[in-house]
Amino acid sequence: MTRHAQAERHALCDTLLAVGPDAPTLSGSWTAADLAAHLVIRESARVDLAAGILLPRLAGRTDAATRRMARDTPFAELVERVRSGPPRWHPSHLSRVDEQMNLVEMFVHHEDVRRAGSGTQPRQLSPGMTDALSRRLAVMAPLLARGAKDVGVEIVTAKIRKRVGGTGPVVEVHGHPGEVLLYLYGRKSVAQVEFVGEPSAVARLSSADLGV
């Protein structure tokens, strides 16, 4: 089984080292160091800290821990901890779980670093990576599009045409699976997608709060 998530993890780490700890990202106000710290905490044994990634009421504590780790840990060490992956006891240490839990996470954050403020264009992804992202998109799109309350959303790629949520006039979001994932994750300013639908519906989708 090809480990696309692992390959993307290593590619992200190479890019992090190339841009340096203070480089901007598309993850809000995070620097590259903050993003690396986020990934370390996400897979750490400190479940109490990682919980804030998913639970809003604990987000402040998790964010503070992220900033502190980014400040106090040498950047090269942080990146190496990301590269080495989760500990053996972690579910995503298993390859199939890794693909489900980490492929999109690593891909989106890699593009967060690559495209922040530089106008960097999309990469030429391998057919295998494209297919892997396509499979994850089909599963994750309904969750990512749930913030589109008053507009229907249909994703369209070379292999997928799927209504994924919302009510009202339908907007089709066309693009490469990776670009559609970026759009649904809220990276709207850099995702290279095209829309088919009424202008008012496209505007509503553009202002919707998408993502996890």
Predicted confidence band at 17 (pLDDT cuts at 50, 70, 90)? very high
> Is pLDDT at 46 greater than 60 in this prediction?
no
> What does the alpha-carbon distance between residue 125 and residue 136 come to, in Å, rounded to a whole number?
15
Could you tell me the pTM of the whole model? 0.90
Residue 54 to residues 59, 141, 211: CA-CA distances in angstroms? 8, 17, 12
**Tell me: the pLDDT tens digits for 48-85?**
554 445 445 555 666 788 888 999 999 999 999 999 98
**Tell me: the pLDDT tens digits for 149-198?**
889 999 999 999 999 987 889 999 999 999 999 999 999 999 999 999 99
> What does the alpha-carbon distance between residue 26 and residue 16 come to, in Å, rounded to a whole number?
13
Per domain, the residue ranges of the chain are 4-115, 127-207
**Helix ranges restricted to H, 73-198:** 75-84, 95-115, 127-144, 177-184
Predicted confidence band at 43 (pLDDT cuts at 50, 70, 90)? confident
